[in-house]
């Protein structure tokens, strides 16, 4: 199944450490995240991890398509105080297997 790295970034004023509304939303919603992921067919591979001093969180997930992850971010409410960055990811060996299929190196 395809893997994706999901980064959620927020500003200091929207951080659950300093904003009572986002804190309440996160405290209430966090226990529901595994259930929502299961419902949508998303598997957590790593995380969610909080990069606290950077106001960012990081998760590696498996999902059939990127739109499923977008739906997860919307339904979970995380979109309300975060910017979401979703990047397809591959194991290094898989990425290296494409060397022969790409044009010759530029340098």
Read off the pLDDT of residues 25-48 as tens digits, 9 standing for 90 and up: 999 999 999 999 999 999 999 999
Give me the CATH topology for the region 3-92: Alpha-Beta Plaits (3.30.70)
The secondary structure element, H or E, covering residue 48 is: strand 43-51
Q: Where are the domains of the chain?
A: 3-92
User: For position 19, what pLDDT does the model report?
Assistant: 96
Query: At 62, phi and psi to the nearest 5?
Result: -115, 135
Q: Is the pLDDT of residue 103 over 90?
A: no
Determine the Cα–Cα distance for residues 36 and 52; give it in Å rounded to an integer. 24
How does DSSP classify residue 30?
G
What pLDDT, in 10s, does the model give residues 51-78? Answer: 999 999 999 999 999 999 999 999 999 9
């Amino acid at each position: 199944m395809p893997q994706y790295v999901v980064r959620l970034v927020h500003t200091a004023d929207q951080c659950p450490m300093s904003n009572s509304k986002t804190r309440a939303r996160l405290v209430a919603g966090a226990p529901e995240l595994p259930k929502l992921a299961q419902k949508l067919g998303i598997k957590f591979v790593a995380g969610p991890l909080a990069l606290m001093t950077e106001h960012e969180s990081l998760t590696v997930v498996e999902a059939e398509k990127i739109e499923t992850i977008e739906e997860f971010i919307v339904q979970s409410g995380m979109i309300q105080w975060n910017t979401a960055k979703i990047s397809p990811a591959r194991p290094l060996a898989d990425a290296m297997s494409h060397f022969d299929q790409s044009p010759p190196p530029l340098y």
